[in-house]
Amino acid sequence: MAEKKDPRTGSRSPTCSRAQRRGRALIVLHIRPPKIMGALERSMVQHPINLLSLAASVRAAGHQPVVWDFEVEPFSETIVRARAAALQPGLVGVTGMTANIKVGAKILGWIKDAVPGVFAVVGGPHGSALPEETLREFPEFDAVVVGEGELTWTELAGRLTRGESLAGTFGLAWRDRDRVVVEPRRELIRDLDVLPLPARDLIDLNLYKGASSPGLDATLHRSTEIFSSRGCPQDCIFCAAKVTFGRAIRFRSAAHVLAEVDECMTKFGYRHFTMEDDTFTYRPTRLEELCRGLRERGVSWDCDTRVNIVTREMLQMMKDSGCRKVAFGVESGSPRILKEIRKDIDVEQIKRAFAAAHEVGLITTAFFIIGGHPSETAEDLEASVRLMREIDPDLMAAAIAVPFPGTELEQIMSEKGLIASRQWEKYTHIHSVPCWRTENFGPEELVSLQNRIFRRFFFRPHFVLKTFKKALSWHGARYYGRSLWQIIRYLFIEGRN
């Protein structure tokens, strides 16, 4: 890696000698590292839409993007080194969730050994929350893209290609020899319609075998994901999304979203779409436009949203336009905990939303959290179990709350001395024994509570009978039989790190 001195600041920032030497477009490599996955996750790996959006942006700027997805592609040190040596990228970025930040650093270390002079970057929520700490902890990273990535990533590629200093690149943290420079955060993109559509042509779509949303049979739903907005206006203490996208919600226009639907249908043959927005129904007028367009195209879809921004009429409109499933973040059945985590919903709203979704015939998913506030008690958790049974969702997920860097939950638990260590690989919702505790439960107790809640929900007679009725067709028997086996493997066979 060469260095160039900035005449204005005196700082020495790295330049991409490979790009300058070639005098042509930069090969920009985007990587999703592997993560801990049980049988359930392996059956429904989603497309890396975040990387595909970054790749589309640098391609529009004239560079040559490449995407490696090690959640579906063969992975080993030998494979990474050989592929990197053959590709010879000038810039490489890895998406860094907290749980896989260590393996992301290993991957970039291998690539830097194989390709001297390559510039290595990490993006995502972990580095966005801890930019300086991440660079000091992991010498494999040359820089961190902080927050929303497209504009910063494209500017970085251009600066490296032209041999310019990195000083003044908003949204970037980078090394200036022994010191770390954290530039001001870049302003969020106000008009998301200016972004090119995700570059799905850069991945082998045949590697993604399952439906991307639980409860939908992969053999019947060839599906992909769409982000039609960014940000969430809520302020839940456990959520790390605002670290990257802030609390201001920004919408793509209905026309822009439907253009992506059209491309996915005509170029890639997709007929089902998982809308990955945190609050898909937040703007009713836009929702009406989208429902009208989706109905005209004859596709199916599903979404996530909040219980306090849906009505029965809205859910009926969604059902009529092809919506198959809706997922709600419930988090807790305890009014006290809902208030403590600042969920800004109440139990009656939860009950009404699920009742309405059942009435119109939508598949429902309820997301619950164990330890969403460190003061949660056994009585609070029992209230959650009672609510699960009353709202009777078709699917339920109970995650152990993770004190992700940058969240208020992490701040509260740190101040109370509840986090024993920062073993980043343990920062998962369902596959690890936590390296933290709550005020009332130790790490092993949290795991035991999680498993017990799963068993009490999925193995109760009512749920078994309801699921058996759905399995009375050939497709139903295959799907629900496979799903049952995956649940059994998770609860009784697969271990935890």
CATH number at residue 18: 3.40.50.280
For 341, phi then psi, to 5°, come to -90, 0
**Residues 417, 420, 424, 426, Cα dihedral to 10°:** -120
Cα distances (angstroms) measured from residue 348 to each of 193, 335, 356: 37, 10, 12
pLDDT tens, 313-355?
999 999 999 999 999 999 999 999 999 999 999 999 999 999 9
Do residue 229 and residue 138 come from a single domain? no
Letter for the amino acid at 286?
R
Provide the whole-model pTM.
Answer: 0.92
Do residue 19 and residue 103 come from a single domain? yes
- Is residue 114 a contact partner of residue 228, using CB atoms and an 8 Å limit? no
Do residue 216 and residue 137 come from a single domain? no
pLDDT of residue 471: 65
Please indicate, yes or no, if residue 496 is contained in any of the structural domains: no
Residue recorded with tokens 């985590």: 341
Please indicate, yes or no, if residue 13 is contained in any of the structural domains: yes
pLDDT of residue 488: 75
Do residue 168 and residue 222 come from a single domain? no
Do residue 165 and residue 123 come from a single domain? yes
Please indicate, yes or no, if residue 348 is contained in any of the structural domains: yes
β partners of residue 103: none
Please indicate, yes or no, if residue 203 is contained in any of the structural domains: no
Of 182, 199, 233, which residue constitutes the final position of a domain? 182
Q: What is the pLDDT along the chain (497 residues), one digit of tens a residue?
A: 555 555 444 555 555 554 444 456 899 999 999 986 555 556 568 999 999 999 999 999 999 999 999 999 999 999 999 999 999 999 999 999 999 999 999 999 999 999 999 999 999 999 999 999 999 999 999 999 999 999 999 999 999 999 999 999 999 999 998 899 999 999 999 999 999 999 999 999 999 876 667 777 655 668 999 999 999 989 999 998 888 887 789 999 999 999 999 999 999 999 999 999 999 999 999 999 999 999 999 999 999 999 999 999 999 999 999 999 999 999 999 999 999 999 999 999 999 999 999 999 999 999 999 999 999 999 999 999 999 999 999 999 999 999 999 999 999 999 999 999 999 999 998 889 999 999 999 999 999 999 999 999 999 999 888 877 776 666 666 666 767 767 777 666 666 77
Do residue 134 and residue 8 come from a single domain? yes
Rounded Cα–Cα distance for residues 254 and 155 (Å): 28
Nearest residue to 166 (alpha-carbon basis) of 132, 175, 289, 236: 175
For residue 336, the SS3 value is: helix
Please indicate, yes or no, if residue 497 is contained in any of the structural domains: no
β partners of residue 92: 29, 120
- Is residue 111 a contact partner of residue 118, using CB atoms and an 8 Å limit? yes
pLDDT of residue 222: 80
For residue 358, the SS3 value is: helix
Rounded Cα–Cα distance for residues 213 and 324 (Å): 11
Domain tally, the chain: 2
Q: Which residues contact 198 (CB under 8 A, 6 or more apart)?
A: 47, 49, 52, 53, 55, 56, 260
Rounded Cα–Cα distance for residues 180 and 174 (Å): 6
Do residue 229 and residue 150 come from a single domain? no
Q: Which two tokens stand for residue 129?
A: 């929350």
| Domain CATH code at residue 299 | 3.20.20.70
Please indicate, yes or no, if residue 472 is contained in any of the structural domains: no
Nearest residue to 14 (alpha-carbon basis) of 1, 23, 24, 25: 1
Do residue 178 and residue 214 come from a single domain? no
Please indicate, yes or no, if residue 419 is contained in any of the structural domains: yes
Cα distances (angstroms) measured from residue 229 to each of 71, 251, 289, 366, 414: 25, 4, 14, 22, 32
Give Cα 308 to chain centroid, integer Å: 23
Do residue 327 and residue 237 come from a single domain? yes
pLDDT tens, 189-207?
999 999 999 999 999 999 9
Please indicate, yes or no, if residue 344 is contained in any of the structural domains: yes
Domain residues for 45? Answer: 2-182
- Is residue 30 a contact partner of residue 54, using CB atoms and an 8 Å limit? yes
Do residue 156 and residue 252 come from a single domain? no
Do residue 323 and residue 409 come from a single domain? yes
For residue 182, the SS3 value is: strand
Rounded Cα–Cα distance for residues 176 and 156 (Å): 15
Of 144, 162, 182, which residue constitutes the final position of a domain? 182
Residue recorded with tokens 């009926």: 316
